[in-house]
Amino acid sequence: MAREWWRRLAAAERREYERSESISRLVLPNDPSFAPMVHRVEQALAADDRAGAERAAQALVDRICIHVQVPRVAVSVLGKRPADGSGELHGIYHGNDESGRDTITVWMRTAKRKDVVAPRTFLRTLLHEVAHHLDIRALGLPSSFHSKGFYQRESSLMRTITRGTSLAPRRAGARDAAPADSEPREPPPADPDARRRGLEILRNAADAIAARTRRRDP
């Protein structure tokens, strides 16, 4: 069964997936400004300050983009996560949307209880979407598959960004485990066309939910 989805991938997608698997790190400098930026994200979440969390998240992502030398991506932080019978949407990345911008949207409250999410979970979600941006803009991986390498790159970002903070891995050199409610890993789809259609449906739904949320959720 595992070979079936692989057989259905186009040759270019197979090469991209294999390349994604082979890249385990995103190299960033040990920038001392990361720690206070992470602290500002934590403070905004502790205060249930959506606008403050958005500003802090944008500043952090801007700094990452400067170091990696990729175009800026606009960050939007919204309130309660959208949800349906299949679960909650934590974050989404749009590369070059209709406005011509790259955008990241993350949510800061759980869908069911409307609790503010833990700083580690929020930051992990944010960096997950940043990793998609870097896949496309820095590494030339247009599909940004959820490969093993993708999650390793996400973890390397988390380790670098949280160095010297309360969110840093508890053991030197340890790989920071994804939070229990983080986006699950998925193998490449059986049908690339179905994947693209499914992604478009997800993005359209997220856009509609986000528009409704902006109107009613300060």
Mean pLDDT score, 173-196: 42
Given a cut of 80, whether residue 171 has pLDDT beyond it is no
What's the pLDDT tens digit per position in 18-66?
A: 999 999 999 999 899 999 999 999 999 999 999 999 999 999 999 999 9
> What DSSP state is assigned to residue 187?
P
Strands (E), 51-206: 74-80, 83-84, 87-88, 91-94, 103-109
Q: pLDDT value at position 179?
A: 40
Residue 185 has pLDDT above 80, yes or no: no
Tens digit of pLDDT for each residue in 96-131?
755 668 999 999 999 988 999 999 999 999 999 999
Does the pLDDT at position 86 exceed 80? no
Q: Which residue bears the tokens 């040759």?
A: 11
Rounded-to-integer distance, Cα 81 and Cα 215, Å: 14
